[in-house]
Structure 1
């Protein structure tokens, strides 16, 4: 049995994030990866130099081509950029009945460049959150989606509950933007919370961590794992990818996609 996963996201010319990170992660976890590119970015470890969204028709054709011949076992969405693209992707996910959907609400690049238009936030809330089996926001993204400040651990839990109320089945609140030496990632399933603790790795080479983590969850869901099992493996995958850094590029370098061994 060959498991297949589809990423609907932006292309990162530097290879550390976006569909490039997703495909590398799928491959490493023995899942056949496919992509529908929403936008081409000109970027490297120093930042984003340009964002060029693809025409709606081009995105739709890519998704249709995959659905017809290579139906995925799980789908991940990353950078969707505009309201128009979000509405199209939501429509296609519904059309093809895809249910193992991981939504990574990509909004801001590591260097601070916006990757989601301001008016697209509402579209993401309205159209994508109800389709998400798993949503993987970091703390700043969760603040935007819930319209609340998140400073304490209790507020993280409150935000996770709010996101669940907005239609998300499982909320994975990433702890990388929290304070202190110990990071805590939270999983909320609508009834209880699960926690993963890990030590902070002091490195600037963290470009693409969010994409990579969400892609690892997607790969495991494609294999039929539960959300808890998928997050558990994704945590190990991303921890290894950050710890065993590649040290390339002059800025925020990529994580190491081949560090993890099952």
Structure 2
């Protein structure tokens, strides 16, 4: 039987830890055929982003149409989109499909990957058609435009019509991480999972959102998909916990043990 198909719409990471590299590896590990649309090419390693080349929006559209005209896409995941025009395009062409939006606005290194116009485009165009949005707390606060607790921000963003999972928590204080799942019209629900103490976490957000998309492509309900995605990330962080790859924050594992 054919595997389900998931599509990532994101930028590249020359270090192989995040972006489409993380997404396609995660799709493959979870039994999903991955297709990709490249929105930007980055010069990036574990210490940061040194250069970004945005792909013309017309080329992004051509890639999207090539995939949608040929493959039965069961879920779409977005990462770095880079411009307000690209955000609006993705919203228009992906509306009505299972859609996981990872609102990449700032890299782990602090590099700004989307300005105020991009933030506004997410709120006006992409969040209203998304199935679920997966910001970390900093991204959630950036989207909302103010500070607040994870559950407060999740509930506020969910009022835009999409479900929201604010990922993270305070693992150093509690030994666990708590993600907050908010669905429109429902109170936020805490989803708790073990914390993995490691500095090898570059690509974690991409890996989580692509794992979530993969489980949705397999037909899992949203909460189950979120719990399975968190469990997958925990396993991969445990694998890479003591790696010494790179000079900065090392990559989350995208490897599998060989029997």
TM-score range normalised by the length of the shorter chain: over 0.9
**Where do 1:94-173 residues align within 5 Å?**
94=95, 97-98=96-97, 100-150=98-148, 155-168=149-162, 170-173=163-166
Q: 1:242 aligns with which of 212, 220, 237?
A: 237
Question: Which residue in 2 is equivalent to 1:33?
Answer: 34
Question: Which residue in 2 is equivalent to 1:227?
Answer: 222
Cα RMSD between the aligned structures?
Answer: 1.7
Task: For residues 31-74 of structure 1, give each alpha carbon's deviation from its aligned partner in whole angstroms, at most 9, with x where no partner exists.
Answer: 00000000000101111110110011110010000000013100
Task: For residues 120-139 of structure 1, give each alpha carbon's deviation from its aligned partner in whole angstroms, at most 9, with x where no partner exists.
Answer: 11011100100110110100
- When normalised by structure 1's length, the TM-score is 0.92
Q: 1:175 aligns with which of 164, 168, 176?
A: 168
Contact 1:138 1:177 in 2 (8 A): no
Greater displacement, 187-196 / 79-88: 187-196
SS at match of 1:12: coil
Q: 1:188 aligned to 2:186? A: no
Deviation at 1:177, TM superposition (A): 6.0
Deviation at 1:76, TM superposition (A): 0.3
Task: For residues 15-43 of structure 1, give each alpha carbon's deviation from its aligned partner in whole angstroms, at most 9, with x where no partner exists.
Answer: 10001100000000000000000000010
Specify every segment of 5 or more residues in structure 1 that has no aligned partner in the other structure, as ranges. none
Q: For this pair of structures, how many residues does the alignment match?
A: 253
Deviation at 1:259, TM superposition (A): 5.2
**Where do 1:56-71 residues align within 5 Å?**
56-71=57-72
Specify every segment of 5 or more residues in structure 2 that has no aligned partner in the other structure, as ranges. none
